[in-house]
Amino acid sequence: MRCDNCENPFVKSHLLPTPAQFEHLRDVIRSNSPPPETSSFRAIIADAPAELARYDAEIRRRQEALYALRADRALLETYADGCRSVFSPARRLPTELLGDIFDMCAPPGADEIVDDTTPKEEVDRLAKKYLLQLSRVCSRWHGVVMGTPMLWSTLVVDTVCWSTFPVSQETLLGLMAASLERGAQSPLTVEIAVAHGDLNERPVLELISRHARRWKSIYLWVNPESVRFLGAAKGNLPLLERLQLYASVENEHQSGLDIFEVAPRLTYFRLLGWHHRSPTLPWGQLLDVKFENRNSNQLSGVNMSSISLPLILPSSTSEISTLTISVRATPNELHTETPQFLAFASRSSLHSSLTSLDIQVVLQDAQLLQCLEHLTSLEELWISDYEDYQGGHALITDHLLRRLVWRPDDPTSVVPRLRFLSVASLMHFCDDSLWDFVSSRTPPGRREEGPFVVEVFWLPGRARELSSQFIGRFSALEERGALLMMATVFS
């Protein structure tokens, strides 16, 4: 045996016993008689420490050599992996494509506010932790992450749980500021939720308002009174296309609602929650508008019977192609003022621009028809009965369906360009009325742009269902491509 560190051989100890000697020792130990060779045993006891020390020294030398071998192997493996990575396809990916891949690595909830966000998830979202982890892979990935503003172009802030965080407000604002800075001049998508009376609302809103020139889409869940903290954004919104406002509380003395008055590219607007007045907007350029009250049954001091559309709808708009009106109210609270909607439609020239209408309010079939008679460009319509209103309110009736029958030689036909109808119904109409309506809209040669689409959902409190035999009558229309129909239970 030779030492790995020198040419000198390591000599086994002369004290090592043979198998016979070891067995003899066992026999002596098991007996009570003194051994005849006591001198040899005493010599081994005396000489063994030096021999054991010699073995210990040799073991240390060999362990050090083993450690060195293992270190050399690890270094060689790392070096070989590095050599292989030279030919890795990932190295040849363009920076732009690599950035797109990184963007797809965002975890669920990274780009939207969700109700069950934990404090840790909020911190990770503010810091964009997934991007920071990717940036640690190599210097190139670090450069791509930090040098691609698009990756930092979405900011989601929910201060509702900031007060429970183990980190300071300054740290959280610092994470916001760092993300905004890394986004450079990239168009910005923002979602911000600030609880009423939250101490963070002013610094958060003022910080984001300093980047208003980059806003492309913004969703604000705030106390309307807090909008004034966005004052720096006024007249500074050249890229804004989408605006969604949700009032966290009702406030009659709203201020700062003219911040969005000048926004040259704004075409999409959502107003959620109850407002005594809507913000000042460039109404004439909006194409997609939705007003919705989600929590009217939780508000005090609001007389629902006094609601009239001028309180919600602007005095004048134009070019609106999609309009959704949805008001959720308890029974007997809502009174729809059709004349005021008609006045709004007339002011806004909806007869020439509106192609899609989703109207989810309680009204009579005659009222709806009165509105539809003025919407001659309408192509898509969503309507619904209400089973929880006065024991069940039916809007979709035989009278409505008969008036929607299209007659090519009748200039008074209602919504002549209609190509899509979705109804959620209590089924207070007869099958023949539905057949007359559908068949009138699907004559041979009329639908060059595609089939007429009908969706029929029957509500849980329905009076009946469409029979399979009746639905089968539409198969011929579907076979020739004139109709696409779905009939099922509403869920």
Query: Which pLDDT tens digit goes with each residue over 377-406?
Result: 999 999 988 876 666 788 899 999 999 999
Q: Is residue 128 part of a domain?
A: no
Do residues 250 and 225 touch, judged by C-beta distance below 8 A? Answer: no
Percent of the chain with pLDDT over 90: 36
Cβ neighbour number for residue 57 with a 10 Å cutoff:
11
Assigned domain for 49 exists: yes
Angstrom distances, CA of residue 485 to CA of 27, 57, 434, 462: 99, 89, 12, 19
Q: Look at the chain and count its residues.
A: 491
H or E segment to which residue 212 belongs: none
Residue where the block lists tokens 């008055």: 261
| 26 occurs within a structural domain | yes
For 234-260, what is the mean pLDDT? Answer: 77
Report the pLDDT value the prediction gives residue 166, as an integer from 0 to 100. Answer: 73
According to the model, what pLDDT value does residue 182 have? 94
What is the tally of structural domains in the chain? Answer: 1
User: 339: which 2 tokens?
Assistant: 């004349």
- Reported pTM: 0.60
pLDDT given at position 266: 94
More confident residue, 326 or 20: 20
pLDDT score of 309:
38
Average pLDDT of the residues in 280-302: 64
Q: Which domain holds residue 49?
A: 19-87
41 within a domain of the structure (yes/no) = yes
Domain assignment of residue 81, yes or no: yes
Q: Identify the pLDDT of residue 72.
A: 94
CB contact at 8 A, 170 and 182: no
Residue scoring higher pLDDT (117 or 26):
26
Q: Which residue has the tokens 């965002």?
A: 106
Segment among 310-324, 340-354, 465-479 with least mean pLDDT: 310-324
Does residue 327 come out as left (phi exceeding 0), alpha (psi in the -120 to 50 range) or beta? beta
Higher pLDDT, 115 or 56: 56
Report residue 290 CA to chain centroid gap: 20
pLDDT tens digit string along 178-227?
A: 999 999 999 999 999 887 777 788 899 999 999 999 999 999 988 777 88
Tokens standing for 446? 């009329």
What is the spatial distance between Cα 158 and Cα 176, in angstroms, rounded to a whole number? 11
pLDDT value of position 252: 52
Q: Which of 382, 251, 260 is nearest to 323 (CA)?
A: 382
Whether 457 contacts 489, CB under 8 Å: yes
Please say whether the beta carbons of 90 and 135 come within 8 A. Answer: no
- Looking only at the bridges linking them, the beta strands covering 288-293 and 322-327 are parallel
Q: Which two tokens stand for residue 451?
A: 């089939």
More confident call, 1 vs 83: 83
Q: Write down the mean pLDDT value for the chain.
A: 82
Confidence check: pLDDT of 1 > 50: no
Pair of tokens at residue 241: 């296309």
User: Does pLDDT of 163 surpass 80?
Assistant: no
Q: In this predicted structure, which of 53-62, 131-140, 476-485 has the lowest mean pLDDT? A: 476-485
pLDDT of residue 436: 92
Identify whether 274 is part of a domain.
no
Rounded distance between C-alpha atoms, residue 323 and residue 309, angstroms? 14
Handedness of CA 195, 198, 202, 205 (dihedral sign): negative
Higher pLDDT, 339 or 367: 367
Query: What is the four-CA torsion angle of 467, 472, 478, 484, rounded to 10 degrees?
Result: 10
- Which pLDDT band holds residue 293 (cuts at 50, 70, 90)? low
Share of the chain above pLDDT 70, in %: 84
What's the whole-number mean pLDDT along residues 399-420? 91
Identify whether 23 is part of a domain: yes
Local structure of 424: helix, strand or coil: strand
Look at residue 63 and tell me if it is in a domain.
Answer: yes
pLDDT digits (tens, 9 = 90+) for 9-58: 888 998 899 999 888 888 888 887 777 778 888 888 999 999 999 999 99
Longest dimension (CA), the chain: 135
In our burial notation (b when 16+ CB lie closer than 10 A, e otherwise), range 153-192 reads bbbbbbbbebeeeeeeeeebbebbeebbebbeebbbbbbb
Assigned token pair, 197: 């009376």
In one-letter notation, the amino acid at residue 309 is L
